[in-house]
A and B are shown apart, each in its own frame.
Chain A
Amino acid sequence: MDYILDFEYLDKSFLPLVGGKNASLGEMIKAGIHVPPGFAVTTDSYSSFITETGIENKLFDILSNTPPDDMESLNRASTEIQAIINNASLSDKIKSAISDGYSNLCEKCSVDIVPVAVRSSATAEDLPTASFAGQQDTYLWIEGEDNVIDNVRKCWASLFTARAIDYRNKNGFPHEKVLISVGIQKIVNSKTAGVMFTINPTDGDPSKVVIEGSWGLGETVVSGSVNPDKFVVDKVVMETSEKTISTKHIKCVYDPENGGVRDIDVEEDIQSKCCLEDLEIKELVKIAKEIENHYGCVMDIEWAIDKDYSFPESVFIVQARPETVWSQRKKRSLIGKKSGSQLLMEQAMKRIRIPE
Chain B
Amino acid sequence: MTDENAGRFPDPHEFKVPSELEGWEEMYPSHYLFSKERGEWESEQFWYQDKIHAPEPMPPFDLIFQEAWQIALSQYTTRVFCIPPAQGIAQRMVGPYMYICAIAPPPDEIIGEKAQLFEKRVFYVFEHYNELWEKWLTKFKALGEEMKAVEVPKELPKFVPEDQVLPAPTGSYVSYDLIEAFDKLVNKMFKGWQYHFEMLNLTYLAYLMFGDVCRKLFPGISESAIGKMVAGAYVSMFRPEEELCQLSRLATSLSGVADILKGETTADQKISELEKSGDGKKWLEALEKAKDPWFYVSCGSGWFHHEGSWITELDIPFSYIKSYVERLEKGETIERSLDEVDKERDKTVAKYRELIQSDEDRDSFNNAYNTVRTIYKYAEDHLFWVEHWFHTIWFAKIRKFGDILVDNGMINESDDIFMFSRYEIPEILTEVVTGWALGVDIPVRGDYYKAKVDKRRKILKAASEWNPTPALGVPPEEVAEPFTIMLWGVTTDKVKEWLKGMGKTGGEDVSEIKGFASSAGVIEGPARVLKLLKEIMDLKDGEIMVCPTTNPSWAPVFTKIKAAVTDIGGLTSHAAIVCREYGVPSVTGTGVATSVIKTGDIIKVDGDTGVVTIVKKAG
B33 at the interface (CB under 8 A from A): no
Residue among B220, B228, B364 with most chain A CB within 10 A: B220
In the assembled complex, the CB of B325 is this many whole angstroms from the nearest CB of chain A, namely 34
Among A119-127, A261-269, A337-345, the one that faces the other chain is A337-345
The residue in chain B whose Cβ has the minimal distance to the Cβ of A206 is B355
A340 with B520: CB separation less than 8 A: no
A351 with B85: CB separation less than 8 A: yes
A235 with B355: CB separation less than 8 A: yes
Q: A329 vs B365: C-alpha distance in the bound complex, in angstroms?
A: 21
A278 at the interface (CB under 8 A from B): yes
A171 at the interface (CB under 8 A from B): no
- Which B residues lie within 8 Å of A332 (CB)? 358
Mark each residue of chain A from 250 to 280: 1 if its CB lies under 8 Å from any CB of chain B, else 0: 0000000000000000000000000000100
Please pick, from A206, A239, A348, the residue contacting B205 in the complex, using a CB distance under 8 A.
Answer: A348
- Which A residues lie within 8 Å of B368 (CB)? 338, 340, 343
Interface size class of A (residues with CB under 8 A): 35 or more
Q: A339 vs B123: C-alpha distance in the bound complex, in angstroms?
A: 12
A354 with B216: CB separation less than 8 A: no
A47 at the interface (CB under 8 A from B): no
The residue in chain B whose Cβ has the minimal distance to the Cβ of A210 is B220
A234 at the interface (CB under 8 A from B): yes
A207 with B218: CB separation less than 8 A: yes
B118 with A237: CB separation less than 8 A: no
Please pick, from A208, A236, A335, the residue contacting B361 in the complex, using a CB distance under 8 A.
Answer: A335
Given known contacts A208-B220, A349-B85, A343 and B608 CB-to-CB distance under 8 angstroms = no
Given known contacts A207-B352, A232-B220, A234-B221, A343 and B213 CB-to-CB distance under 8 angstroms = yes
- Which A residues lie within 8 Å of B364 (CB)? 335-338, 343
Given known contacts A237-B520, A243-B609, A340-B368, A203 and B220 CB-to-CB distance under 8 angstroms = yes
**Which residues of B from 453 to 482 have beta carbons under 8 Å from A?**
475-480
Please pick, from A232, A240, A333, A349, the residue contacting B84 in the complex, using a CB distance under 8 A.
Answer: A349
A346 at the interface (CB under 8 A from B): yes
In the assembled complex, the CB of A189 is this many whole angstroms from the nearest CB of chain B, namely 28
Interface size class of B (residues with CB under 8 A): 35 or more
- Which A residues lie within 8 Å of B595 (CB)? none
**Which residues of B from 338 to 389 have beta carbons under 8 Å from A?**
348, 351-352, 355-358, 360-361, 363-365, 367-368, 370-371
B219 at the interface (CB under 8 A from A): yes
The residue in chain A whose Cβ has the minimal distance to the Cβ of B208 is A347
Q: A204 vs B357: C-alpha distance in the bound complex, in angstroms?
A: 11
Mark each residue of chain B from 209 to 222: 1 if its CB lies under 8 Å from any CB of chain A, else 0: 10011001111111
A241 with B209: CB separation less than 8 A: no
Q: A334 vs B364: C-alpha distance in the bound complex, in angstroms?
A: 10
A235 with B371: CB separation less than 8 A: no
Please pick, from B206, B224, B351, B360, the residue contacting A344 in the complex, using a CB distance under 8 A.
Answer: B206
Q: A235 vs B517: C-alpha distance in the bound complex, in angstroms?
A: 17
- Which A residues lie within 8 Å of B219 (CB)? 200, 203-205
Given known contacts A333-B361, A337-B363, A343-B213, A241 and B105 CB-to-CB distance under 8 angstroms = no
Given known contacts A237-B520, A344-B206, A350-B480, A335 and B217 CB-to-CB distance under 8 angstroms = yes
B522 with A353: CB separation less than 8 A: no
A238 at the interface (CB under 8 A from B): yes
B358 with A234: CB separation less than 8 A: no
B220 with A205: CB separation less than 8 A: yes
- Which A residues lie within 8 Å of B487 (CB)? none
A242 at the interface (CB under 8 A from B): yes
In the assembled complex, the CB of B610 is this many whole angstroms from the nearest CB of chain A, namely 10
- Which B residues lie within 8 Å of A235 (CB)? 351, 355
A355 at the interface (CB under 8 A from B): yes
- Which B residues lie within 8 Å of A243 (CB)? 608-609
- Which A residues lie within 8 Å of B517 (CB)? 239, 241
A340 with B83: CB separation less than 8 A: no
A170 at the interface (CB under 8 A from B): no
B119 at the interface (CB under 8 A from A): yes
B216 with A241: CB separation less than 8 A: no
B137 at the interface (CB under 8 A from A): no
Q: A200 vs B217: C-alpha distance in the bound complex, in angstroms?
A: 12
In the assembled complex, the CB of A145 is this many whole angstroms from the nearest CB of chain B, namely 46
- Which B residues lie within 8 Å of A234 (CB)? 220-222, 225
6 pairs, A vs B, C-beta closer than 8 Å: A334-B361, A338-B367, A343-B364, A344-B209, A353-B478, A354-B475
Given A234-B222, A237-B222, 14 new contacts (CB under 8 A): A205-B220, A205-B221, A207-B221, A208-B218, A235-B351, A236-B352, A236-B355, A331-B358, A336-B360, A340-B371, A341-B119, A351-B478, A351-B480, A353-B478
3 nearest A-B pairs in the assembled complex, by CB-CB distance: A340-B371, A347-B209, A207-B218
